[in-house]
Amino acid sequence: MAGFIIDDDTIMSPYTKEVAEYCFPFSCGDEELDSFFARQVFLYQEELLCRAFCWINKNNDKEIVAVATFSYDGIKSYTLDSSSRNSLQRKIPYKKHHRSYPAMLIGRLGVNKHYQGKGLNIGSQLMQTIKVLCANENGMGICRYLLVDAYNTDLTLHYYAKNGFKPLYKSEQNERAVFDIPENESLKSRIMYFDLKLVKA
């Protein structure tokens, strides 16, 4: 496993029931995500609410290294406070400012727990692979941004920040206001974005 490179050592495949049944049960160590990838993801795909892909070990075609789901989304600039909107649009020419910008939403993402904590940086490797796929005109689709609705925990937020994602809303207070979340309720997730123009630059 030493020196495992996701682009070289895995094959990307649609994540279907047939693939899940053929491969070893996938576990990323998070019960909620494991349950989703074991059952619910297939219902979502049947309803055309997302597409799921997995990365399978080339040397062991029964081992899934990672799984992720994707769906088309958009960033609506008119829902943002002025500071957040200015930050988002800063690198877009004024004449091309719009009310909505195309984005790809990473819905759920998990890395096989056997590949975690071994210094392989599989999570960051996977994110770089996803960025290239989404920025490539022959890849997942043409969009300007990647979006995630990240668990509001230090570990998850650090992972996305380390991989170049920024909070869409400058403060939790602004995000609460947009989604009508009362101050006395915990903010369970933060919307974060990545500008795919950085990959193409």
Region 7-26: what's the mean pLDDT? 97
pLDDT band at 1 (very low <50, low <70, confident <90, very high): low
Q: Is the model's pLDDT at 200 over the cut of 80?
A: no
pLDDT at residue 153, as a whole number: 93
Global pTM reads: 0.90
Give Dmax over CA atoms of the chain in angstroms.
51
Quote the CA–CA distance of 102 and 71 in Å, as a whole number: 11
At 118, which amino acid appears? K
pLDDT at residue 79, as a whole number: 86
Give per-residue pLDDT as tens, 100-137: 999 999 999 999 999 998 999 999 999 999 999 998 87
What are the strands of the beta sheet with 51-57, ordered from one edge? Answer: 10-14, 51-57, 64-76, 100-111, 145-151, 189-195, 166-167
Q: Which of 104-108, 140-144, 174-178 is modeled with the greatest confidence? A: 104-108
pLDDT at residue 7, as a whole number: 96
Residue 65 · residue 147 · CB < 8 Å: no
Query: What distances in angstroms separate CA 121 from CA 1, 9, 63, 99, one per listed residue?
Result: 12, 14, 18, 36
pLDDT at residue 83, as a whole number: 87
pLDDT at residue 188, as a whole number: 92
Helix, coil or strand: residue 64: strand
Backbone angles phi, psi at 200, to 5 degrees: -85, -15
Number of helices and strands in the chain (H, E): 9, 7
Give per-residue pLDDT as tens, 21-60: 999 999 999 999 999 999 999 999 999 999 999 999 999 9
Helix, coil or strand: residue 12: strand
Strand 100-111 relative to strand 145-151, pairing: parallel
Structural domains in the chain plus CATH codes: 6-200 (3.40.630.30)
Give per-residue pLDDT as tens, 72-96: 999 998 888 888 888 888 888 887 8
pLDDT at residue 159, as a whole number: 95
pLDDT at residue 34, as a whole number: 97
Paired strand residues for 54: 13, 67
Region 3-12: what's the mean pLDDT? 95
Which DSSP symbol is given to 81? -
